[in-house]
């Protein structure tokens, strides 16, 4: 039994005659008859009754055809899937992101991406950078965006960006009188900190130590957007990732440059060979495009 024999059998069923089946397959009538005969010999039972020059499916032939039809439906589905992937008009990409970018720059990249690929499905999950890395390694996501404290061993990656930190504080805070905030300004000030393992937090702590400043640590959080929300409520001041500040200036958080500069560095992480996938390449291009045109921080 081979595919060509089954194809001839199906063509006869669909068309009703050997001559029409031959036209569908682009072969001669004798070839169709030969293929059907070979299939009958292979399966061990008659597929058709010959009645006045016509082929009428036997009960066994009808039962066999039901399974054949299901198989061809599966092939048709595979062809359709291949066509969608080839034409790049549909598909599915799974993205995991740290919170700082996942609520701001990544949604803008999704909008940009869908301008070109409106039928593509994007799964977006927000999690810690360590979780992003682990899910990429486990093959559960196609693309990840993580901070630089993650372990990059064993994972394909490229630098996404390095962004200078901003000092954030509530409206009416004494920092508002300053154009630039420095480590010594934090001495004795209520401080909303990022997690101890955050590289920007470590840079900030080192600068404060060198300046002899001792901020009054009030609360720690792994998420810059949560830090902004706490600062908005007047809990304290903090150093935040500029990717996470969208909308907070309008709500009352004030931002100033911090010097010496502290940087939030982020990486794009990929499943093995996933950088070569067209949907992933397109989404990465969208990320870089919106990164370069992100809204002003409105200091």
pLDDT in tens, 98-138: 988 988 899 999 999 999 888 888 999 999 899 999 999 98
Please write the tens of the pLDDT for every residue from 41-58: 988 888 888 877 678 888
Is position 297 within any domain? no
Chain position carrying tokens 């990486």 = 267
Query: Is the pLDDT at 163 greater than 50, yes or no?
Result: yes
Contact 63, 32 (CB under 8 A): no
The pLDDT of residue 57 is 87
| 210 and 64 in a common domain | no
Instruction: For residue 183, count CB atoms less than 10 angstroms from its CB and return exposed for 0-12, middle for 13-18, buried for 19 or more.
Output: buried
pLDDT band at 83 (very low <50, low <70, confident <90, very high): low
- Residue 26: domain span: 3-87
In the listed set 87, 104, 137, which residue is the last one of a domain according to the structure? 87
At 62, list the tokens: 């009808």
- Structural domain total, the chain: 3
> Which range (44-58, 142-156, 242-256) has the least confidence?
44-58
The pLDDT of residue 205 is 96
Query: Is the pLDDT at 299 greater than 70, yes or no?
Result: no
Query: Is the pLDDT at 88 greater than 50, yes or no?
Result: no
| 151 and 280 in a common domain | yes
- Say which residue, 86 or 269, is predicted with more confidence: 269
DSSP state of 296: P
| 248 and 172 in a common domain | yes
Is position 225 within any domain? yes
At 231, list the tokens: 């600062």
pLDDT band at 164 (very low <50, low <70, confident <90, very high): very high
Please write the tens of the pLDDT for every residue from 194-230: 999 899 999 999 999 999 999 999 999 988 999 999 9
| 209 and 147 in a common domain | no
Contact 199, 266 (CB under 8 A): no
In the listed set 52, 87, 122, which residue is the last one of a domain according to the structure? 87
| 130 and 63 in a common domain | no
At 126, list the tokens: 């927000």
Rounded-to-integer distance, Cα 140 and Cα 135, Å: 5
At 212, list the tokens: 């002899």
């Amino acid at each position: 039994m081979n595919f060509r024999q089954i194809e001839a059998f199906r063509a006869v069923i669909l068309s009703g005659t050997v001559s029409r089946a031959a036209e569908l397959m682009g072969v001669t009538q004798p070839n169709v008859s030969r293929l059907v005969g070979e299939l009958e010999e292979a399966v061990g039972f008659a597929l058709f009754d010959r009645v006045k020059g016509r082929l009428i499916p036997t009960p066994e032939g009808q039962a066999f055809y039901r399974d054949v039809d299901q198989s061809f439906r599966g092939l048709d589905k595979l062809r359709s899937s291949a066509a969608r992937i080839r034409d790049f008009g549909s598909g599915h990409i799974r993205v995991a992101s740290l919170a700082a970018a996942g609520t701001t720059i990544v949604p803008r990249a999704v909008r940009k991406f869908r301008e070109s690929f409106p039928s593509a499905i994007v799964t977006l999950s927000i999690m810690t950078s360590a979780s992003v890395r682990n899910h990429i390694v486990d093959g559960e996501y196609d693309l990840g965006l993580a901070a630089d404290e993650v372990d990059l061993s064993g994972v394909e990656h490229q630098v996404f960006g390095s962004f200078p930190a901003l000092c954030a504080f509530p409206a009416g805070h004494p920092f508002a009188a300053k154009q630039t905030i420095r480590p010594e300004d934090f001495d004795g000030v209520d401080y909303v900190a990022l997690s101890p393992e955050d590289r920007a937090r470590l840079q900030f702590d080192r600068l404060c130590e060198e300046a002899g400043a001792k901020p009054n640590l009030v609360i720690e959080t792994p998420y810059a957007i949560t830090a902004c929300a706490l600062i908005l409520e007047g809990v304290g001041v903090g150093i935040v990732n500029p990717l996470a500040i969208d909308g907070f200036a309008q709500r009352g958080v004030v931002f100033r440059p911090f010097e010496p500069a502290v940087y939030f560095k982020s990486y794009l992480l990929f499943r093995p060979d996933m950088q070569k996938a067209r949907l992933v390449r397109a989404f990465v291009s969208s990320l870089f495009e919106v990164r370069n045109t992100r809204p002003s921080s409105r200091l």
